[in-house]
Every structure is written in C-alpha cells, then in structure tokens.
C-alpha cells in the first residue's frame, strides 16, 4: 500500500513500487490524468483519486491496469470520459464517479467493463442515458444515477443488464418512463424513483418487470390524482412481486382541491367521484331523451286530433 493523500501533488509521483496493490492519491491537485500515468503498476488492485481537482482524463490514462478492481474518481471536476476509458479495465468491479460534472457518457467509454458490479454516476449533470450505454456491463448489480438531470427513462437504455439488482433514479427530473424500458431487468430488487416529476404512470411500465420481488419507491412526485391513476395503483398493489414501499407517503399535486392529500387516503374516492359524474351526465341525457320522446308523442297525438276534426267537419262530395 502506498499512501499519498493530501500531499498537494500536481502529478502522480513517479518511481512507485511495481508491487503496489493499493494507491491512495486523494486530496491532491492533479488536474489531469495523463496518458500512461500508471504504466508499470501491474499489481495495482485499488486506485483512489477522490477529491483531487481532476478535470481531464486523457486517452490510455489507465493503460496497463488490467488487474485493477476498484477505481474511485469521485468528488472531482470531470466533464467527460475518453472513448477508450475502459480499454484496460476489464477486471474492474467497482467504479465511482459520483460528484463530478459529467454531462454525457458514450457506450464506448464503458464497453470493456465486463466484470463491473457497481457503477456510481450520482451527483453529476447527466441529462440523458441513451440506448446501449450499458451494453457491456452484463455483471452489473448496482447502478446509481440519482441526483442528475434525467428527464426520461428511454426504451433500450437499460438493455443487457440481466443481473442488475439496485437501480437508483431518485432526485432527477424524470417525467416519463417508456413502458418497456424496465423489461430487461430480470433481477431488479430495488427501484428508486422518488423526488422526480412523475404525474402519471402506465400499469405496463411495472408489470413488464418479471422479477421475484421488486421494491419500488415513488414518493415526492407531483401526482395528478384522478381515476386513471387510482386504477393503475389498484392493479400494481395486487401484483404479488411488486411492492410500493412508500405508497402511504405519496401525495397529490393535482387537482388543486387535493393538493397535499395522501394518495392512499383518497384513492378509493377518485373513481367514485368520476363514476358519480358519469352517472349524473347519463341520467341527464336519459331524462332529456325521454322528455323529447314524450313531447314528440304528444305533438303527434295533437296533430292527429286536429286532422280528425278537420276531416269530420268537411262536407261530403
């Protein structure tokens, strides 16, 4: 183990022992991780670069670290990853990139992380996660995307993640989830969607999860409480393998008269009110139709009576 924490280094020191298995470089002023910076450190298993003012990672920066299992780049200023970022990191199991300034990630940057089990991209500036970005992460079990700027969960964005167990999407700006976007997640146990911008959901979105048991968190969203939403949750709550853990903490944003009300408290009334309205409209229409029929019948009889009187008073020819 080599501990170089808080030394104000502006570059990774040279001459490190080739047998080093853990290198701690947190709390320095590295700014840039240059090409071949860690050349010769074949035995390195853990590399910590947290809180080191890193803004840029150059191509082939981690070349030769083919046995590295944990890489911590959290709490830096990184805006993007080079296309070959993962080229020499096929043994990596844990990658921490939380608390950076990442605005986008390409599929090429992550495609060689065959052994990765945990990926933390939380507290960045990601606005979208497009289809195929995680296509090479077949062993991934934990994916943290909370506290970004995501607006939609796209179909195909979570493909080829059969072993994913934990998906954190809370504290984004998600307003839409494509109905089939969660379908590939056969092992999902925890799905966190709190504090987003969800107003409605489709039942198909969650019923497509063919898991043993999935716990879902949905509180802190601005729900539009209407009969359609009540029907969706009524179905979800009766699906054995789906568990809405915070259902009793979910509150209504719309309509205004229900703002702040517990969805669990008012859900049984939502369709009652709608049904009552439909019944009132139906009865009104029926009364109107019956009244029109009665009036038409009266007019017909009245006209028949007038014709009969006219015929009886006319002289015979």
Domain of residue 157, CATH code: 3.80.10.10
Mean pLDDT for the stretch of residues 186-199: 97
Structure tokens at 219: 């509180």
Give the SS3 label for residue 151: coil
Cα separation, 198 vs 299, whole angstroms: 57
Q: How confident is the model at residue 32 (pLDDT cuts 50, 70, 90)?
A: very high
Q: Residue 317's pLDDT is what?
A: 46
Q: Give residue-wise pLDDT tens across range 246-265.
A: 999 999 999 898 899 888 88
Q: Give residue-wise pLDDT tens across range 142-181.
A: 999 999 999 999 999 999 999 999 999 999 999 999 989 9
Q: Residue 107's pLDDT is what?
A: 87
Which residues have a Cβ under 8 Å from the Cβ of 184 and sit 6 or more positions away? Answer: 158, 159, 160, 161, 162
| 290 falls within a domain | no
| Cis status, amide bond into 255, omega within 30 of 0 | yes
| 311 falls within a domain | no
Q: Residue 272's pLDDT is what?
A: 60
Burial 100-131 (b: 16+ CB within 10 A, else e): bebebbeebbbbbbebbbbbbbbbbebebbee
Q: Domain containing 164: what range?
A: 2-269
| 313 falls within a domain | no
| 308 falls within a domain | no
Tokens 């080829």 belong to 160
| 170 falls within a domain | yes
Q: Give residue-wise pLDDT tens across range 49-59.
A: 999 999 999 99
pLDDT for 309 beyond 90: no
Considering its fold, how many domains does the chain have in total? 1
The count of residues in the chain is: 317
**How large a percentage of the chain has pLDDT more than 70?**
84
Structure tokens at 8: 């104000």
Cα separation, 236 vs 113, whole angstroms: 35
Q: Residue 1's pLDDT is what?
A: 87
| 315 falls within a domain | no
| 288 falls within a domain | no
Beta bridge partners of 46: 22, 70
| 299 falls within a domain | no
Structure tokens at 93: 């199991």
Beta bridge partners of 200: none
Cα separation, 240 vs 248, whole angstroms: 18
Cα separation, 88 vs 65, whole angstroms: 6
Prediction pTM value: 0.84
């Amino acid at each position: 183990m080599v501990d170089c924490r808080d030394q104000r280094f502006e570059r990774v020191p040279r001459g490190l022992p080739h047998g080093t298995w853990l290198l701690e470089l947190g709390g320095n002023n590295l700014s840039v991780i240059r090409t071949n910076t860690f050349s010769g450190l074949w035995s390195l298993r853990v590399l910590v670069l947290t809180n080191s003012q890193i803004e840029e990672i150059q191509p082939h920066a981690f070349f030769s670290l083919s046995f590295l299992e944990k890489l911590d780049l959290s709490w830096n200023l990184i805006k993007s990853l080079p296309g070959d970022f993962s080229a020499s990191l096929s043994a990596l199991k844990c990658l921490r990139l939380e608390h950076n300034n990442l605005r986008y990630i390409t599929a090429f940057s992550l495609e060689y992380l065959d052994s990765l089990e945990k990926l933390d991209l939380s507290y960045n500036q990601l606005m979208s996660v497009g289809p195929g970005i995680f296509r090479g992460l077949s062993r991934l079990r934990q994916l943290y995307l909370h506290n970004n700027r995501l607006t939609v969960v796209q179909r195909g964005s979570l493909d080829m993640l059969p072993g994913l167990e934990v998906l954190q999407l809370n504290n984004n700006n998600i307003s839409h989830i494509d109905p089939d976007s969660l379908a590939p997640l056969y092992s999902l146990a925890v799905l966190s969607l709190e504090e987003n911008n969800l107003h409605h959901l489709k039942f198909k979105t969650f019923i497509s999860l063919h898991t043993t048991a999935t716990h879902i968190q949905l509180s802190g969203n601005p729900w539009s409480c209407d009969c359609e939403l009540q029907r969706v949750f009524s179905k979800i709550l009766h699906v054995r393998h789906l568990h809405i853990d915070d259902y009793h903490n979910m509150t209504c944003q719309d309509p205004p008269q229900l703002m702040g009300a517990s969805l669990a408290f008012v859900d049984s009334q939502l369709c009652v009110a709608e049904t009552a309205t439909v019944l009132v409209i139906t009865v009104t229409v029926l009364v109107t139709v019956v009244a029109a029929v009665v009036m038409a019948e009266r007019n017909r009889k009245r006209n028949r009576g007038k014709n009969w009187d006219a015929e009886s008073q006319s002289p015979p020819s």
